[in-house]
Structure 1
Amino acid sequence: MIIILDVLFNPNSPYMWLLIIGIIAGALAIIIRPFATFAKFAYPNAKFESIGNPFVKETNLQRYLDLSDLQQFIDQLNTQKDYNISETITSRIQTELDHQFVNTIHMMKQDSTKKMQPFYDTYLELIDANLLKTALKQHITENHIDENLSDHAVSSAIKKHLLILSKTDSEEILAVLNQLQYPDYITSLITAEEKKFSSFALDAAVDTLFITQLKNTKVPYKCTEAKDVFIKRMIDIRTIKHLLRAKHLSYDADHCEQLLIDEGYELAFWKQKDLCTAENTADLINKLEGTQYYTSLKNKLDQDTSKIGSVQPYTDAIDLFWLHLVKNISTAHYSTMGPSLRFLEYKQIEIRNLKIIAKGIAEKMPSTLISPLLITEETT
């Protein structure tokens, strides 16, 4: 041992210099690695920042609210970069806008480091969650799944699954779902007795599946914290929205617990179960006191409740707060995936706003009725 040490630390020995070079190389690798990650995000973040999200700005949306017909809406929107609407029927315009969001994700995937691609692929699956929910509900209520559903999928994996399920006999659906590795918390709902089946519970189960997959997706070095905060906040938001709808329909605590997805950022499981015991929507909101979500919902609750005949104003309020949260995540993780997450979520809200305006113009609604339905950054 002493001989080995003498050789290693002998200034005239080449082994000593190899050791020194190795130590320096290791130290440099540790120092450089974060900067290499930052460099990989420099171009996409700069590009997304230059594109911006004009349709979460109230002033930009106002110009569209003042238009009198759909053709004017289409012509003005097509002057914007990346928009090329060719349809003139409202429903088809909305579909084209949805495609625009998907195209944006593909653009982000192409411009980002390859290590971000699994995240975007899984996010596309999350978009297809509603199609899977529809397919499973069709099986339960009609013993049949529409083959055309797969045509609307944007994820290759979900497109394949929907096509397989639509061609499967009703009696074999459960076996096929197991072969496709769907978890027990979904398959158990498929086999539940009709009186015990909950459409909301199925929605929550499918959300759980895709959010869990997103949570388990690997991202580049130094990006894990941003991804984890983003997903846990998303869980909080979705949990609150599920429970708001449930309490609006007078669901009891046991029924509400079926809607829980996972532990969130502020809403641990014990807190979520406490929310499930709320007597009504107002009580649910009051139980959120002490969390960052409380103020937005409480302000909405303190308005004239006689004007709030649905849960939509509350879910809009929480979506509005979601923009604020994503903006904070972007600021805290500005050198990695923070700006990408912000651009992605803001784009989704932009498309929502444009779809609402298109529908409002088509139905000759005054701008004073359309405007309150929009989610804009200025009011966060």
Structure 2
Amino acid sequence: MIIILDVLFNPNSPYMWLLIIGIIAGALAIIIRPFATFAKFAYPNAKFESIGNPFVKETNLQRYLDLSDLQQFIDQLNTQKDYNISETITSRIQTELDHQFVNTIHMMKQDSTKKMQPFYDTYLELIDANLLKTALKQHITENHIDENLSDHAVSSAIKKHLLILSKTDSEEILAVLNQLQYPDYITSLITAEEKKFSSFALDAAVDTLFITQLKNTKVPYKCTEAKDVFIKRMIDIRTIKHLLRAKHLSYDADHCEQLLIDEGYELAFWKQKDLCTAENTTDLINKLEGTQYYTSLKNKLDQDTSKIGSVQPYTDAIDLFWLHLVKNISTAHYSTMGPSLRFLEYKQIEIRNLKIIAKGIAEKMPSTLISPLLITEETT
């Protein structure tokens, strides 16, 4: 051992210099690694910032609210970068707008570091969650699954699954779901007795599946915290929306607990279970006091409740607060994936706003009725 140390620390020995070079290289790697990550996000973040999200701005949307017909809407929208609407029927315009959102995700995937690609692939699966929900409900209520559902999938994995399920005999669906490695909390709902089946519970179970996959997706160095905060906040938002709808339908606590996804950022499991015991939507909102979600919902509650016949105003208020949260995540993690997350979520709200305006114009609704349905950044 002494001989080895003498050799290593002998200034005339090449081994000593190799050791020094190795130590310096290791130290430089530790120092440089975060900056390498920052450099990989510099271009995409700058690009997304330059594109911006004009359709979460109230002033930009107002120009579209004042249009009198769909052709004017299409012509004006097509002057914007990345928009090329060719359809003239409302439903098809909305479909094209949905495709625009998917195209945006593919653009983000292409422009980002390769280590972000699994995140975007999983996010596409999350978009297809509604198709999977529809397929499973069709199996339960109609004993068959529409083959055309797979045509609408934007994720290659979900497209494949839907195609397989649509060609599977009803009696074999459970076995195929197991082969495709769907978890027990989904397959158990498929086999539940009709009187015990809950459409909301199935929705929550599918959300749980894809959000869990998103949570487990690896992201580049120094991005894990941003991803974790983003997903936990998303869980909070979805949990509140699920429970608002459930309480509007007078679901009891046991039924509501079937709708829980996972622990969130502010809503730990004990808090979620406490929310499940709420008597109604008003009680649910009051139980959120002490969280950041309370103020937005309480402000909506304090409005003339006689005009609120659904939970939509409350879920819109939560979606509005989501923009605020994502903006905060972007600011806190501006040198990594924060701006990408903001651009992604804002784009989704933009598409939602444009679809609402297109439908409103087609139905000759006055702008005063369309405007309250929009989610805009100014009011966050």
> What TM-score does the superposition give when structure 1 sets the normalisation length?
1.00
- Quick check: 339-348 or 9-18, which moved more? 9-18
Rounded Cα–Cα distance in structure 2 between residues aligned with 1:256 and 1:299: 24
In structure 2, what is the Cα distance between the partners aligned to 1:129 and 1:12? 66
In structure 2, distance between residues paired with 1:242 and 1:57 = 27
Q: Distance in 1 between the 2:379 and 2:267 partners?
A: 24
**2:331 aligns to what SS in structure 1?**
helix
Q: Displacement of 1:166 after TM fit? A: 0.3
Q: Deviations over 1:143-169 (max 9, x none)?
A: 010000000000000000000000000
How much does 1:176 deviate?
Answer: 0.2
Separation (CA, whole Å) in 1 of partners of 2:300 and 2:91: 30
Question: What does residue 19 of structure 1 align with?
Answer: 19
CA distance in 1, matches of 2:335, 2:46: 10
Give the superposition deviation at 1:131.
0.1
- Shift in Å, 1:369: 0.2
Could you tell me how far apart the structure 2 residues matched to 1:148 and 1:25 are? 56
Match of 1:245 in 2: 245
For the residue of structure 1 that corresponds to 2:81, the secondary structure is: coil
1:22 and 1:157 map into 2 onto residues whose CA distance is 44
Question: By how many angstroms is 1:315 displaced?
Answer: 0.1
Deviations along 1:287-342, one digit per CA (max 9) or x if unpaired, are 00000000000000000100000000000000000000000000000000000000
Q: CA deviation at 1:246?
A: 0.1
CA distance in 2, matches of 1:234, 1:320: 13
Identity of matched residues, %: 100
Match of 1:120 in 2: 120
Comparing 101-110 and 7-16, the one that deviates more: 7-16
Q: Name the structure 2 match of 1:343.
A: 343
Moved more, 6-15 or 213-222: 6-15
CA distance in 1, matches of 2:82, 2:247: 41
CA distance in 2, matches of 1:348, 1:125: 15
Which position in structure 1 is the counterpart of 2:309? Answer: 309
Distance in 1, matches of 2:175 and 2:144, equals 15
Give distance in 2, aligned partners of 1:379 and 1:109. Answer: 30
How far apart, in 2, do the equivalents of 1:160 and 1:3 lie?
64
Pairwise CA distance, 1:241 = 0.1
CA displacement, residues 58-103 of structure 1 (integer Å, 9 cap, x when unaligned): 0000000000000000000000000000000000000000000000
**Separation (CA, whole Å) in 2 of partners of 1:14 and 1:199:** 71
Within a 5 Å distance, the mapping from 1:1-380 to structure 2 comes to 1-380=1-380
Cα deviation, 1:88-146, whole Å, max 9, x if unaligned, reads: 00000000000000000000000000000000000000000000000000000000100
- Measure how far apart 1:227 and its partner are: 0.2
**Structure 2 residue runs without a partner (length 5+):** none
1:5-33 superposed Cα distances (whole Å, 9 cap, x missing partner): 11111111111111000000000000000
Deviates more, 1:5-14 or 1:31-40: 5-14
Determine the C-alpha separation between the residues in 1 that align with 2:349 and 2:68. 23
Can you list the C-alpha shifts for 1:22-63, whole angstroms capped at 9, x where unaligned? 000000000000000000000000000000000000000000
Deviation, structure 1 residue 187: 0.1
Q: Deviations over 1:211-259 (max 9, x none)?
A: 0000000000000000000000000000000000000000000000000
d(CA) in 2 for partners of 1:149, 1:251? 30
Root-mean-square deviation (Å): 0.3
Give ranges in structure 1 of 5+ residues lacking alignment: none
Higher mean C-alpha displacement, 204-213 vs 6-15: 6-15
Cα offset, 1:175, TM superposition? 0.2
Q: Give the total of aligned pairs.
A: 380
- Counterpart CA distance in 1 for 2:252 and 2:199 is 15
Q: Secondary structure in 1 aligned to 2:259?
A: coil
CA–CA separation in structure 1 for the residues paired with 2:28 and 2:169:
60
**1:3 positional shift:** 1.0
SS at match of 1:321: helix
* Alpha-carbon distance in structure 2 between the residues aligned to 1:252 and 1:367: 39
CA distance in 1, matches of 2:214, 2:293: 23
Give the 3-state SS of the residue equivalent to 1:82 in structure 2. Answer: coil
